[in-house]
Structure 1
Amino acid sequence: MPRSLVLLAALLASSAAAQPLADSLAQRGIEAYESGAYAESARLFADALDAGARDGTLAYYAACAAALAGDADAAFRFLALAPDLGFLDADLVRRDSDLASLHDDPRWPVAVARVERASATSRLLWASPTFRTPYADTLAVDERVAGLSRLWAEVKFNFANFDLVPGRLDWDSLYVATLPRVRAAGSTLEYYRVLQSVVARLHDGHVNVWLPPALADRASAQPGLTTRLVEGRVFITDVWDPALAALGLRPGQEIVEIDGEPVHDYAARVVRPVVSSPKPLASDVWTYEYSLLSGDAATPVALTVDGADGSRQRVSVPRLPVEQARVVVPTPEPFGLDWLPGRVAHVRLTTFGGPEAADRFLERFPEIAEAAGVVLDVRENGGGDGAVGYRVLCALTGAERLVTAAWRTRLYRPVYRAWGRGEASDGDPAPTYGCDDALDYDGPVALLVGPRTGSAAEDLAVAFDLLDRGPIVGEPTAGSTGQPLLFALPGGGSARVTTRRDLYPDGREFVGLGVQPDVPAAPTVAGLRAGRDDALQAAAAALSLGD
């Protein structure tokens, strides 16, 4: 059980499932277990449950501690309680050496069977394979309706942000209005576009419908270049495919038409209706950067581009199959460090999808610690594991604990609805993250953000803002974070819905709005064409504000 105890400690540090007293008792139970005081550990876990911690994991750990203490009766009582409180890991019960003393007891197979039944019931209810049907170019009408119905139900009962949706959306009415479109869809691709247009009405970047992999090259192929919306105009920022360079495409050229249609008209007609992101900045990123030129690999896209010198060029641009594009278009390194004038360290963290960004930052910390100032750049960071960013922030503050974004989730109790009572919520109004690394950079720090700063990177921005460690520079962040729930759809596709609402501990919202910069700084056309990063320069200049 020791590894599981570590997981429990992490859960208690980030969850409000237990009241403060219960949380404290559970932490003491962990400490007693680790010191070998098993009877005391079992008592403390039991007290935590009595104090309001409705958590099956705690009941299971109480069973383990009681078994190690030789109290079989208490161990079986807690094992019987665990599945009622949500503990479903029958495999762990069977193999956990902490429970070995119970195996010869006639109550043992009954206890294991109880957890197995609860687990099987949960799988049938929430993880049924019914919707995992194989891909077909045209799904049966019943499959399509079932998929829409599942999407409707998962969003209706799990989506955390209905009150933030513009225009007081009637979700049930939208479902009914979409049924004819689903039945009329002539192909699986058309059907999935309908589903994407439905969730786009929620304007939430953590509610998405993803196409079946079989459709990737027919719908998600892209040219080997990147684009960006700057001052309301669309520019090529990088050309990665040598074949496109040979056609005369260059960074700094403006895209004015796509397939003969003005670029903004094309984006509004083809792309934006299926983009699910908050408006305006995050939606613009998805529309004009991530998805603008997506399409069928078999069909080139016609671009009309203007150069800075006034020249105009019409080019037929091939789209690369998805796997080939992943080779041609490089993935940024999770961590980067370069130096600006005046010994200012420019630290780039492009993803928290793994520990590498924090690991490499800490490896280079002795060098960074000598900097006159630090610009922490998370403009290209779409999120991942928030703890990765917090590890970096700890080293830049010397804090023992970070106060992080508060959160809440819907607390739907069917019987309360039957009684006419409203829906409640649960969450943590002031979670914290404990800093383990004994590092402390005391120079000025500026955080550089933008509309591609999303999810866990936004949580980092909130924690930085709460520290009052230095200025936040750039543009508002994506306004899209929260724990997503993933589920399957017919034909091999999938979807997710955000189940958690993040906000500042004082109640200020940033979902749908973004974390706001103290020093606004956006890219400019002049800077782009001159190869100058205006926002980065503004962040370096703002370091004095953090003294």
Structure 2
Amino acid sequence: MRTLFIVCLFLVSASSRAQPLTDTQKLASLAKLWGFLKYYHPAVAPGKRDWDQQLMALLPAVQQAADKQALSAVYGQLLDELGPVKSCRNCPVSESGQRNLDLAFLSDSLVFTPDLQGRLTYLIANRYQGKPYYVQQPAPQSGFALSFDNEKLYENLHQPGRGTAAEPCRLLALFRYWNVIQYFFPYKYAVDGSWNDVLTDLIPVFRQATTEEAYQGALYQLTSRINDSHAFMQNVDKTRCLRCEWGKLWLPFEATFLDRQLVVTRRFNDSLNVPTVVTAGTVIHAIDGEPIPARVERLRPFIAASNEGALLRDLRWLIGVGTNPEARLTIRHNGRDTVVLVPRYPYPKLGRAIAAASTAQQYPVSQWLADSVGYVNMGKLTTPQVDSVMQPLQAARALLVDLRNYPKGTLWLISRYLTDEPVPFVRFTRANLRFPGTFASEKPTRLPHLKGKAYRGKLIVLVDAETQSQAEFTAMAFRSVPGTLLVGSPTAGADGNIAWVPLPGGYRTAFSGIGVYYPDGRETQRVGIVPDVLVTPTPAGIRAGRDEVLERALQLIQRTDEPLR
């Protein structure tokens, strides 16, 4: 019996060792090993080799490998060609800053032999310590935003998605981006699901993306997986149309999501032949026969957003785009669902009207409201205007600061009027390029303060999902001033100077390149800046043309004569 058990155990073990690998398993192992060597190996990180071409050369051998022994032999030969790695005398391994670090794949016994595992893990403690070529970190005055400018765009590949010969270029795009996020995205730990799963999910998608439209769609799916509203997509060829497979025709009105309902907020122009029943406050239940919730879920995988509020904020513009010049809208009218036909128009005809839809355009730079209440529009306030705007407002009973927009870099000047103490309000983390995948934490940054008497009235800051990035940073700063109230809805949850990643085909995409936290370590990414008083607009308020967030702030001011701060 004992002999039979040993024989069976041997057969099971031998079968396991000889188990074939899928194409996706092999390509995922290549993506991880190629990226690890790119940033860790002393013969690769300085940029002396064309590492993109090395990937192209490895692809056929990796795809032909029958099992892990054959695959490990391919990788072992690569390490042999790179040469021996000397022992590192100055490669400290600190426990701090390793929240994002994930090198467990180096010990993956399913794809790597024990010998190869040992050779790879050796590099962790003996990694490259010089100036890396593929990623740079500018001086502190540049905000520690990472640069990947040495990566090639391959923009002359006008249609990188066409034809089977382009598959290596598409895989290069996936592998490059995956590794940038793997080692340099400060919020990788906060993404939905496992970052490793992104490779196995999207390798088939990129391999099958044999048209330009499909390649674009694959890129959008990839960037959406980091759950970061900073993940913009551009192409150096400004004539290249993005997302045009969705259509090039837009609905002639502004809409927003309120309690997950799509509500019209403003018609762009009465001359655009919009049916009179479609007015501010109209609730749209379906577009072209597709219910709004189903349409949201269909488009969700292609939208990069830090949180649900930011997703719906961006979808409100795209959800009605189509190819048909006429859209069939199912709306709620007189208590029942009604189908109306609404013409769509090319974006250039609507662009100026769309730009005018933001809160920054609806209000002046500053104004006096009733009862000696001052108002400042941060979306319009410029640096030269700060003193002329803020000095008179020092006499205001209360001050409303509107951040439902994107400010113009005036925080440091305006904060001098709000506090006479150097208040800490933010802590940054930045990538440690000497240990890729780890991050160093900076000391808290303090607000510049006034040497004299600062403003002592009530201070209320208005925020919503339009409040993103610099606007969120500004809201954090104002919140640090004792007694300040934030009113509105949670912000977009995307903070930190952005870094751009070039991708084959002339594309480039961004991500939040530094970590931004409250001084005590609390999160802002994806969470957003959560207001003290939650207020969201309503369809009834929109129909009446009211700004319910501003109204609630004024009510809070009137509630008591005691200062809020």
TM superposition shift of 1:216:
4.2
Question: Does structure 1 residue 127 correspond to structure 2 residue 153?
Answer: no
Aligned length: 409
Answer whether contact 2:153 2:502 (CA < 8 A) is retained.
no
Deviations 1:128-177 (A, max 9, x none): 4453335338443333222222222222221111111233x133x42243
Match of 2:269 among 231, 234, 241: 241
Alignment of 1:409 with 2:433, yes or no, is: no
Letter in 2 for 1:540: L
Distance in 2, Cα, partners of 1:277 & 1:198: 12
Could you say which residue in structure 2 is the equivalent of 1:252?
Answer: 281
Structure 1 distance, partners of 2:467, 2:200, is 35
Q: 1:307 to 1:342 in 2, by over 3 A?
A: farther
Partner residue in 2 for 1:193: 217
One-letter amino acid of the structure 1 residue matched with residue 178 of structure 2:
W
Query: How big is the shift at 1:206?
Result: 2.1
Cα displacement string for residues 14-36 of structure 1 (whole angstroms, at most 9, x for unaligned residues):
xxxxxxxxxxxxxxxxxxxxxxx
Change beyond 3 A, Cα 1:339–1:301? farther
User: Aligned-pair distance for 1:406?
Assistant: 0.8
**Residues 138 and 411 (structure 1), Cα distance of their counterparts in 2 relative to 1, 3 Å cut:** closer
Distance 2:169 2:253 in 1: 37
Q: Does 2:245 align with 1:227?
A: no
Residue 522 of structure 1 aligns to a residue whose secondary structure is: coil
Q: 2:300 aligns with which of 250, 262, 272?
A: 272
Partner of 2:439: 425
Query: 1:334-379, CA deviations, whole angstroms, 9 ceiling, x for partnerless residues?
Result: 763344332322322227xxxx534334333344334321111112
Matches within 5 A, 1:297-376: 299-307=325-333, 310=336, 312-321=338-347, 323-331=348-356, 332=358, 333=360, 336-350=365-379, 356-376=381-401
What letter is aligned with 1:377?
A: D
C-alpha deviation, 1:502, in angstroms: 0.4
3-state SS in 1 of match to 2:480: helix
Using the TM superposition, give the Cα deviation of residue 295 of structure 1 relative to its aligned residue in structure 2, in angstroms.
4.5
Matched letter for residue 200 of structure 1: S
Q: Which residue of 1 aligns with 2:312?
A: 284
Query: 3-state SS of the aligned residue for 2:345?
Result: coil
Q: Kindly report which structure 2 residues correspond to 1:19-168, keeping only aligned pairs within 5 A, or say none.
A: 126-136=149-159, 138-139=161-162, 140-167=166-193
Alignment-mate amino acid for residue 258 of structure 1: I
- Aligned twin of 1:456: 470
1:392 aligned partner? 414
Q: Using structure 1 for the length normalisation, give the TM-score.
A: 0.67
**Preserved CA contact (<8 Å) 2:378 2:402:** yes
**Distance of 1:245 and 1:443 partners within structure 2:** 48
Alignment CA distance shift 1:302-1:191 (3 Å): farther
Answering whether residue 525 of structure 2 is matched by residue 496 of structure 1, we say no
Alpha-carbon deviation of 1:201?
2.0
- In structure 1, the residue matched to 2:229 is 205
CA distance in 2, matches of 1:380, 1:134: 37
Report 1:426-445 matches (<5 A).
426-435=440-449, 440-445=454-459
Contact 2:468 2:495 in 1 (8 A): yes
Q: What CA deviation, in whole Å up to 9, does each residue of 1:290-328 have, x standing for no partner? A: 4322345x754432233466573412331323x443233
How many angstroms does 1:539 deviate by? 1.2
Query: Contact 1:303–1:317 (CA<8 Å) still a contact in 2?
Result: no
- Tell me the CA shift for residue 537 of structure 1: 1.2
CA RMSD after TM alignment:
3.2
For 1:5, the equivalent position in structure 2 comes to none
| Amino acid paired to 1:132 | E
Distance in 1 (alpha carbons) for counterparts of 2:451 and 2:340: 55
Q: Higher relative contact order by CA 8 Å / sep ≥ 6: 1 or 2?
A: 2
Q: Aligned residue for 1:528?
A: 542
| Identical aligned residues as a percent | 21
1:467 match: secondary structure: coil
1:393 to 1:309, Cα distance in 2 relative to 1, 3 A? farther
Distance 1:339 1:526 in 2: 27
Cα offsets for 1:202-260 (capped at 9, x unmatched): 21212343466411482565333211111221111111133435433322211111111
Contact 1:473/1:518 (<8 A) preserved: yes
- Answering whether residue 553 of structure 2 is matched by residue 539 of structure 1, we say yes
Report whether the alignment pairs 1:477 with 2:491.
yes
Q: Does the 8 Å contact 2:198/2:225 carry over to 1?
A: no
Distance 2:451 2:336 in 1: 55
1:397-431, Cα deviation, whole Å (9 max, x unpaired): 143645332110232435xx8xxxxx542132311
Q: Classify the secondary structure of the residue corresponding to 1:404.
A: strand
Q: 1:255 to 1:407 in 2, by over 3 A?
A: same
2:536 counterpart of 1:514: no
Q: 1:136 corresponds to which letter in structure 2?
A: Q
Instruction: Sort the Cα spacing of 1:312 and 1:224 in 2 relative to 1 into closer, same or farther, 3 A.
Output: same
Q: Is the 8 A contact 1:201 1:276 kept in 2?
A: yes
Structure 1 residues 433, 444: CA separation in 2 closer, same or farther (over 3 Å shift)? closer
**Matched position secondary structure for 2:329:** strand
Check the 8 A contact 1:228/1:234 in 2, yes or no. Answer: yes
Q: Which residue of 2 aligns with 1:26?
A: none
Task: Tell me which protein shows more helix as a share of its residues.
Answer: 1
Q: Is the 8 A contact 2:257 2:263 kept in 1?
A: yes
The answer to whether structure 1 residue 179 and structure 2 residue 208 are counterparts is no
The one-letter amino acid paired with 2:353 is: V
Summarize the Cα distance change of 1:137–1:148 in structure 2 as closer, same or farther, 3 Å threshold: closer
- Cα distance in 1 for residues equivalent to 2:209 and 2:153: 21
Q: Summarize the Cα distance change of 1:390–1:170 in structure 2 as closer, same or farther, 3 Å threshold.
A: same
Amino acid paired to 2:515: R
Checking the alignment, whether the CA contact within 8 Å between 1:391 and 1:435 is kept in structure 2 is no
The code of the aligned residue for 1:154 comes to V
Change (3 A) 1:299 1:157: farther
Q: 1:85 to 1:268 in 2, by over 3 A?
A: closer
Assess if the C-alpha contact under 8 Å between 1:239 and 1:245 holds in 2: no
Distance in 2 of aligned mates of 1:292 and 1:394: 42
Partner SS state of residue 530, structure 2? coil
**Closer, same or farther in 2 for the Cα pair 1:410/1:224, shift >3 Å?**
same
Q: How big is each residue's C-alpha offset from its partner over 1:370-395, in whole Å with a ceiling of 9 and x where there is no partner?
A: 432111111233x6x6x423322332
2:32 alignment partner in structure 1? none
Change in 2 beyond 3 A, CA 1:160/1:449: same
**Distance 1:293-1:367 versus aligned 2 partners, 3 A rule:** farther
For residue 300 of structure 2, give the secondary structure of its aligned residue in structure 1: helix
For the residue of structure 2 that corresponds to 1:153, the secondary structure is: helix
